[in-house]
Amino acid sequence: MVKVSALILTYNHERFIGQAIEGFLIQKTDFPCELVIAEDCSTDGTREVIRRYWEKHPDRIRVLLNRRNIGAGRTVARAYQACHGQYVAMVEGDDYWTSPDKLQRQADLLDRHPECAMCFHSVQLVWDDGSRAPVLYRPPQIKDRYPLRDLLRSNFIGSCSAMYRRGVFGPHPLWYYIMPVGDWCQHILHAQHGDIGYIDEPMAVYRQHSGGVYSMKPVTYRMRIEAEMLRRFRCVLGPETWGELDNSSCKSYCVLIHQYCDEGKLPEARQCLKEYLHEMHLSRHIPANYVLNAAARLYTPRLHRLCKRVFKRMPRGKPSLPHPVSTRSVASPAAQVAPSTWSPRT
């Protein structure tokens, strides 16, 4: 019986898919594994590369070929349901695993901790053109376990690092198919049924390249996606999540306003504040100081700068103006990039 299904999701990854497959083939485990490759009707030579690997390893590789391009959400859901393993480890076709004991260690963790519905590990962010040095991508706070509420603050899990306990929920809900970021939804669907385990060691590479439609978008674009995701989560998740989502949504919009101000895009910043005030839900969970700080910077920038200078000179321990979070930090403070996602990158 297959214990772990490795699931590769790919579209137009001709240059990279071979390395993703090799990342599975190097795995050393004491249990049977399978590789399921879901290919969404690529227009390049991705299918030909996959065919060559399948011919060499037909006993280890299964290939799901879409007859037409059906999009990220439907491809992920179809492939996930086709997996036979007790656990499912996912990776996109332009990322790859580097540690030969990745699957063994993650499966062992889930075996030891039945209260965990999934687990993940840190990854290395690597720029394909060499424009930047590699960066370690990990949660802002290191813990052995993360509850659902942590995941409602931001998506701190690299998609190439997740391993899920298959079967904790039924078919993918309808709302999953209308979300702009698929991997965050996949994490939440599992985290609703258990904790999230963590291994603080990089065992995969998340590649940044010119073909990565989402990762190469401007910071404000990625931040708008996050704000929209949080807004939609509040519409589809239970009331027990609303407090955390209200808090996260407020901070996300305020950080976006500050980013627009940094770029001198004041009309966009005003529109963003207007949108948030229209969407906001009044509750005790909203950090009003974030809203006031963002509004002050937008409409009274001189007063805002003066207040910042005054409070900066105050002794430690005194209250100060809230300092907005930097641009969508889901990794360590040094890694200011958005998480890997399937939908926008395809």
Is 148 a residue whose pLDDT tops 60? yes
Are the C-beta atoms of residues 81 and 171 closer than 8 Å to each other?
A: yes
Mean predicted confidence (pLDDT) in 310-323: 54
Are 162 and 200 members of one domain? yes
In a domain, 259, yes or no: yes
Are 247 and 297 members of one domain? yes
Are 184 and 273 members of one domain? no
Mean predicted confidence (pLDDT) in 145-160: 95
Q: In which band, very low, low, confident or very high, does the pLDDT at 327 lie, cut at 50, 70 and 90?
A: very low
Q: Which domain covers residue 32, as residue numbers? A: 4-216+336-345
CATH number at residue 9: 3.90.550.10
Q: In which band, very low, low, confident or very high, does the pLDDT at 280 lie, cut at 50, 70 and 90?
A: confident
Q: Could you tell me what percent of the chain has a pLDDT over 90?
A: 70
Are 269 and 153 members of one domain? no
Are 182 and 132 members of one domain? yes
* Domains held by the chain: number: 2
Is 22 a residue whose pLDDT tops 70? yes
Are 98 and 200 members of one domain? yes
In a domain, 49, yes or no: yes
Q: Specify the higher pLDDT residue, 317 or 141.
A: 141
Are 201 and 223 members of one domain? no
Mean predicted confidence (pLDDT) in 125-139: 89
In a domain, 11, yes or no: yes
Q: Which of 70-74, 78-82, 314-318 is predicted least confidently?
A: 314-318
Long-range CB pairs of 97-101, under 8 A, 24+ apart, other chains included: 97/20, 97/23, 97/24, 97/26, 97/27, 97/160, 97/203, 97/204, 97/205, 98/23, 98/124, 98/202, 98/203, 98/204, 98/205, 99/201, 99/203, 99/204, 100/26, 100/27, 100/28, 101/27, 101/28
Looking at residue 213, its pLDDT comes to 55
Is 336 a residue whose pLDDT tops 50? no
Looking at residue 267, its pLDDT comes to 93
Is 344 a residue whose pLDDT tops 60? no
Looking at residue 215, its pLDDT comes to 60
In a domain, 318, yes or no: no
